[in-house]
Chains A and B, each alone.
Chain A
């Protein structure tokens, strides 16, 4: 089909090598080799390069070409074709991401630098030097290049997944609407028929009543259907939200590498501290009993009648539980010095030096959210 599109444009297109024209050979296809970008027709490629590498047949071009590198041209403009090839290679190596840079400005500078490199390669200025730079950069930053490529691939695939999901949803919705429309129509038809038969069988006096009733039934049905639709829609919306959440979870983590000579302004990479185990009491250990030791018996007049009360004991009441709780409550606040803590907290707020672990966590949390 592409050849069809091409044929209409240039009836008198001629292969620069064998001079056969499209008029004589309507199926003629042109191929190029990214070595020198000289265009020639398929049969020429077969003829010249079947028996191994050969020189480019275009006069003045002494590049050695191989058959397997020949491909179809994507863009009409050969210059753009070549630029895109170069760009592909450079972008593959210089694939820093915006979040790796200190500031937008640094990222923009990087983009411009990359653009300059590509422009140099395209217009053949300082090719050797630029190539050397690129090679060095590639060797030095192997790891980060890999990581960024992985991120890109993942982004692309997640985007694909999202798109196909959306399409599927749209298809389902369309189907649902069609179905809904069908049922609605059928119902109305059925209602009408029913109404007619009843009119036919009833006496002439209650015709008006039947008519009214018919309206009512239809109305009820339509309102019921509407609420049903509403419900289904809400459900679908909820589903969609869930999906979104899932896809958000699969965002990729950030990878880092050292600063390089070529690219400037990269953000210093901090390895995140390993997360500490979760501590619900923020350093306070409830089992620690500094001020008392639990005994099995405490004399108390108030408790005496309960000790042997079958009604209480039958329910599983244990006095030891009561002792432990009361004592804990009684001594709970003893090691806390509220005044001290407040002054500490104030100090932490001003100087950001954190005294207690809890306070430090609180401060960090505050920073993160801020």
Chain B
């Protein structure tokens, strides 16, 4: 299908388009034209990716600037899906236009997923693959080979040097699989092909980390130009990704390993001194001159890059007291020993980086400045020593990263030392958390550098929270509703059990037998009436375990057993995937199954329960975070002091976005249908915070139901859904053909003209002002306080 948005011809690979897709594209184009960042919330399963890609590809091809697209997604499978979607789109374009466009799109993922080397690719762990790959491809290894020494090289990597550097792969769209296959055919390394081809690609698809984590971004994404369009898809968790990319945990074990690493390094330095002192001298003189290693042309084999963001990078010479290799080693050892002594405490400590640094100085005379250069100095040393088995130095690298970060940032970080893993534990297992509190720190360079950043997901409500937390101004914030020809999903809030007693997972009453029984009967009833799969989400593993054991005692599980197979998600990934597989089998063969999982677990994030895999989703309790955690407390305080976000606002925002994410799991398209139940008294107040598309579909009469009413509603709904429904019925309402788009455009135009005329007639824009003002007033009233929140959840 081909249509125009303003003057831009868009080729859409399907014969029909959803109205919200069209609106999404219009807004996207507006943002790109204006330049600036935007936040767009689009219901899950309405073809967000394809509309995004088809608009941006059209934009790239139509305008002469050919702005590059960087599309970031969360998981491998999502990246692969996007690439497949793009491939189909480009095929469609070629067919429509009658010629192949000069176009290159590549996906990038870790070495582990792309490696072709016969022995390296058999390694299980990603870090081992990285390390072994480096040992086969590093620049100095090649030099050694040229000198005639007997070292092993990777053939796939070597073959790349024989090709033209800007034409390693032919134009076209390569999925990750496709790239691997191409690499296998032509005996070239897919990972390095992708890395080196990035400057010549029109579209790059990779994971968030390649852009947000300063350790990776500096290496991978440095050369991207300023006018790139950056898209963060599935971005509802982006603040956590930002925070994680700058946080480090150190345990006693890793410190021990770091010491071992330091000792190894010392030995290597001694060796080198006796055999090849020239190299150490060279490095030393380079550091004295303050030369920022100018070559860096082949920094693919760099060991660690600086964890500090490019803006905060010091462009100075390395301080004198760590210039010599042996001085630096003793410096590192002292620092590690200091950390070890800190680990010996028996109570929790939380302190700011400045106070940590003062204490460090008092005890070991380590000053701030050399500490800042730790990571850089270690990189340089490792390169000089030409170390091959780099994975041994991982813990040492972590310590160096920690040192650099703690000496660089004063604000927005906190050090928390927890001697015990949990409250009840008696055996100490100290962990030093160095936590970033400010999501804006990591993402700021992205916003500063690129002119258009698009943040989009199925659940971003409330939209104004993201600009606040990430520290940017959005030119456009929009949430789209879902146009439906029939009501294909039924969101309900259950606040009471059949006995009219209120249900809630709040800490005070969650273990009340009455509440547990009411939850149990709710689950039983839905297991009874729903065909195929049912998914139940709990706020935490702990609560899930306790409630399931109580249900066992009450005989509720036996009742559920009559209707459905019961499967449970566990923290162990393999167990969970087995459970999931069984679940799918049971749904396919008609036995039906019920899956108990956790709202913040793996299942809630990446796994779709489309069609018969999920006909009902129950959210038992509001999935608040564990509020007793020190890290969360520190973050809440930080948000309050710096961004004026109240603790309760943030907690409830976070809980609701996870709940919405869970609900979105069952609805993966317009032909899909499902029941969504939010079972907690507290959801009733939080309804305005739900995404617009869920909120609009919820009738006022369905926000305060008891179990039996909810069940009869659901029964009716499922019966309606079982009626035959032809796709023809949707046309013009929830799917548009070309004619519908034109009709819509014409209508919009006449509407605009009418508005214009009206405004002219009135002389003032007063009419437009009044309703918006009144809306603000009601909004303000909406955020009244939630007393329940003060009864903070604990496990």
User: How far, in Å, is B496 (CB) from chain A's closest CB?
Assistant: 22
Chain B: CB-nearest residue to A87: B365
Residue A74, interface by CB 8 Å: yes
In Å, the complex CA distance between A122 and B344 comes to 26
Residue A185, interface by CB 8 Å: yes
The answer to whether A83 touches B330 (Cβ under 8 A) is: yes
B residues 250-267 near A (Cβ < 8 Å) are: 259
The answer to whether B333 touches A119 (Cβ under 8 A) is: no
In the bound complex, residues from chain B placing their C-beta under 8 Å from that of A244 are: none
Contact with A along B290-320 (1 / 0, CB 8 A): 0000000000000000000000000011011
Chain B: CB-nearest residue to A174: B637
In Å, the complex CA distance between A84 and B320 comes to 18
In the bound complex, residues from chain B placing their C-beta under 8 Å from that of A11 are: none
In the bound complex, residues from chain B placing their C-beta under 8 Å from that of A215 are: 781
Question: Given A5-B344, A91-B365, are A108 and B323 also a contact pair (CB < 8 Å)?
Answer: yes
> Which one of A4, A87, A107, A170 lies within 8 Å of B320 (CB-CB)?
A107
In the bound complex, residues from chain B placing their C-beta under 8 Å from that of A74 are: 341, 363
In Å, the complex CA distance between A370 and B338 comes to 44
B residues 614-651 near A (Cβ < 8 Å) are: 637, 640-641
> Which one of B355, B637, B780 lies within 8 Å of A219 (CB-CB)?
B780
The answer to whether B346 touches A163 (Cβ under 8 A) is: no
User: How far, in Å, is A89 (CB) from chain B's closest CB?
Assistant: 11
Contact with B along A1-41 (1 / 0, CB 8 A): 11011101000000000000000000000000000000000
Residue A156, interface by CB 8 Å: yes
Chain B: CB-nearest residue to A88: B365
The answer to whether A77 touches B337 (Cβ under 8 A) is: yes
Residue A177, interface by CB 8 Å: yes
Chain A: CB-nearest residue to B347: A1
User: How far, in Å, is B335 (CB) from chain A's closest CB?
Assistant: 10
Chain B: CB-nearest residue to A77: B337
Residue B67, interface by CB 8 Å: no
Chain B: CB-nearest residue to A81: B337
In the bound complex, residues from chain A placing their C-beta under 8 Å from that of B317 are: 104-105, 108
Contact with A along B337-369 (1 / 0, CB 8 A): 110110011110000001100100001110000
The answer to whether A222 touches B780 (Cβ under 8 A) is: yes
B residues 473-492 near A (Cβ < 8 Å) are: none
Question: Given A104-B316, A163-B355, are A111 and B341 also a contact pair (CB < 8 Å)?
Answer: no
The answer to whether B338 touches A2 (Cβ under 8 A) is: no
Question: Given A163-B354, A163-B355, are A177 and B640 also a contact pair (CB < 8 Å)?
Answer: yes
Main secondary structure of the interface of B (DSSP, over half): helix
Question: Given A5-B344, A115-B327, A163-B354, are A80 and B785 also a contact pair (CB < 8 Å)?
Answer: no
In the bound complex, residues from chain B placing their C-beta under 8 Å from that of A114 are: 321
In Å, the complex CA distance between A134 and B199 comes to 57
Question: Given A88-B365, A115-B327, are A75 and B787 also a contact pair (CB < 8 Å)?
Answer: no
The answer to whether B333 touches A80 (Cβ under 8 A) is: yes
User: How far, in Å, is B256 (CB) from chain A's closest CB?
Assistant: 10
> Which one of A76, A83, A119, A174 lies within 8 Å of B326 (CB-CB)?
A119
In the bound complex, residues from chain B placing their C-beta under 8 Å from that of A77 are: 259, 333, 337
Residue B219, interface by CB 8 Å: no
A residues 189-221 near B (Cβ < 8 Å) are: 215, 218-219
In the bound complex, residues from chain B placing their C-beta under 8 Å from that of A110 are: 320
The answer to whether B428 touches A218 (Cβ under 8 A) is: no
Residue B777, interface by CB 8 Å: yes
Question: Given A75-B340, A108-B320, A174-B637, are A84 and B330 also a contact pair (CB < 8 Å)?
Answer: no
Which interface class (under 10, 10 to 19, 20 to 34, 35 or more) fits B?
35 or more
Question: Given A8-B427, A159-B358, A163-B354, are A115 and B346 also a contact pair (CB < 8 Å)?
Answer: no
User: How far, in Å, is B416 (CB) from chain A's closest CB?
Assistant: 16
Question: Given A75-B340, A119-B327, A174-B637, are A109 and B320 also a contact pair (CB < 8 Å)?
Answer: yes
In the bound complex, residues from chain B placing their C-beta under 8 Å from that of A79 are: 333
User: How far, in Å, is A170 (CB) from chain B's closest CB?
Assistant: 8
The answer to whether B346 touches A111 (Cβ under 8 A) is: no
User: How far, in Å, is B359 (CB) from chain A's closest CB?
Assistant: 11
The answer to whether B320 touches A112 (Cβ under 8 A) is: yes
In the bound complex, residues from chain B placing their C-beta under 8 Å from that of A154 are: none
Chain A: CB-nearest residue to B327: A115
In Å, the complex CA distance between A252 and B341 comes to 33
Contact with B along A47-85 (1 / 0, CB 8 A): 000000000000000000000000000111101100110
Most buried by B among A2, A80, A105, A184: A80
Most buried by B among A114, A115, A116: A115
Residue B784, interface by CB 8 Å: yes
Main secondary structure of the interface of A (DSSP, over half): helix
Residue B334, interface by CB 8 Å: yes
Residue B87, interface by CB 8 Å: no
Question: Given A77-B333, A114-B321, A119-B326, are A219 and B781 also a contact pair (CB < 8 Å)?
Answer: yes
In the bound complex, residues from chain B placing their C-beta under 8 Å from that of A159 are: 354, 358
Residue B324, interface by CB 8 Å: yes
The answer to whether B330 touches A76 (Cβ under 8 A) is: no
In Å, the complex CA distance between A78 and B331 comes to 15
In Å, the complex CA distance between A218 and B781 comes to 8
In the bound complex, residues from chain B placing their C-beta under 8 Å from that of A331 are: none
Residue A188, interface by CB 8 Å: yes
The answer to whether A115 touches B321 (Cβ under 8 A) is: yes
Most buried by B among A108, A163, A188: A108
Question: Given A108-B323, A111-B319, are A223 and B330 also a contact pair (CB < 8 Å)?
Answer: no
Contact with A along B27-50 (1 / 0, CB 8 A): 000000000000000000000000
In the bound complex, residues from chain A placing their C-beta under 8 Å from that of B321 are: 111-112, 114-115
The answer to whether B785 touches A184 (Cβ under 8 A) is: yes
> Which one of B288, B334, B354 lies within 8 Å of A84 (CB-CB)?
B334
Residue A352, interface by CB 8 Å: no
In Å, the complex CA distance between A111 and B327 comes to 11
The answer to whether B785 touches A185 (Cβ under 8 A) is: yes
User: How far, in Å, is B283 (CB) from chain A's closest CB?
Assistant: 14
Question: Given A84-B365, A87-B365, A185-B785, are A156 and B327 also a contact pair (CB < 8 Å)?
Answer: no
The answer to whether B365 touches A108 (Cβ under 8 A) is: no
Chain B: CB-nearest residue to A98: B369
In Å, the complex CA distance between A107 and B369 comes to 13
The answer to whether A75 touches B338 (Cβ under 8 A) is: yes
In Å, the complex CA distance between A122 and B334 comes to 13
User: How far, in Å, is A228 (CB) from chain B's closest CB?
Assistant: 15
In Å, the complex CA distance between A327 and B428 comes to 91
User: How far, in Å, is A121 (CB) from chain B's closest CB?
Assistant: 12
Chain B: CB-nearest residue to A163: B355
Chain B: CB-nearest residue to A90: B365
User: How far, in Å, is A218 (CB) from chain B's closest CB?
Assistant: 7
Residue A298, interface by CB 8 Å: no
In the bound complex, residues from chain A placing their C-beta under 8 Å from that of B637 are: 170, 174
The answer to whether B337 touches A80 (Cβ under 8 A) is: yes
User: How far, in Å, is A113 (CB) from chain B's closest CB?
Assistant: 8
In Å, the complex CA distance between A278 and B388 comes to 69
A residues 126-177 near B (Cβ < 8 Å) are: 156, 159, 163, 170, 173-174, 177
In the bound complex, residues from chain B placing their C-beta under 8 Å from that of A2 are: 344
In the bound complex, residues from chain A placing their C-beta under 8 Å from that of B781 are: 215, 218-219
Residue A317, interface by CB 8 Å: no
Chain A: CB-nearest residue to B316: A104
User: How far, in Å, is B196 (CB) from chain A's closest CB?
Assistant: 37
Question: Given A88-B365, A185-B787, A223-B780, are A112 and B341 also a contact pair (CB < 8 Å)?
Answer: no
Chain B: CB-nearest residue to A123: B326
> Which one of B288, B320, B337, B787 lies within 8 Å of A115 (CB-CB)?
B320
Contact with A along B681-706 (1 / 0, CB 8 A): 00000000000000000000000000
List 5 A–B pairs whose Cβ atoms lie within 8 Å, in order of A's numbering: A5-B428, A105-B317, A122-B330, A185-B787, A215-B781
- Given A1-B345, A84-B334, A111-B321, output 4 extra A-B contacts at Cβ < 8 Å: A74-B363, A77-B333, A91-B365, A122-B330
- List A residues at the B interface (Cβ < 8 Å): 1-2, 4-6, 8, 74-77, 79-80, 83-84, 87-88, 91, 104-105, 107-116, 119, 122, 156, 159, 163, 170, 173-174, 177, 181, 184-185, 188, 215, 218-219, 222-223
Q: Which 4 A-B pairs have the closest CB atoms?
A: A108-B320, A111-B320, A112-B320, A111-B321
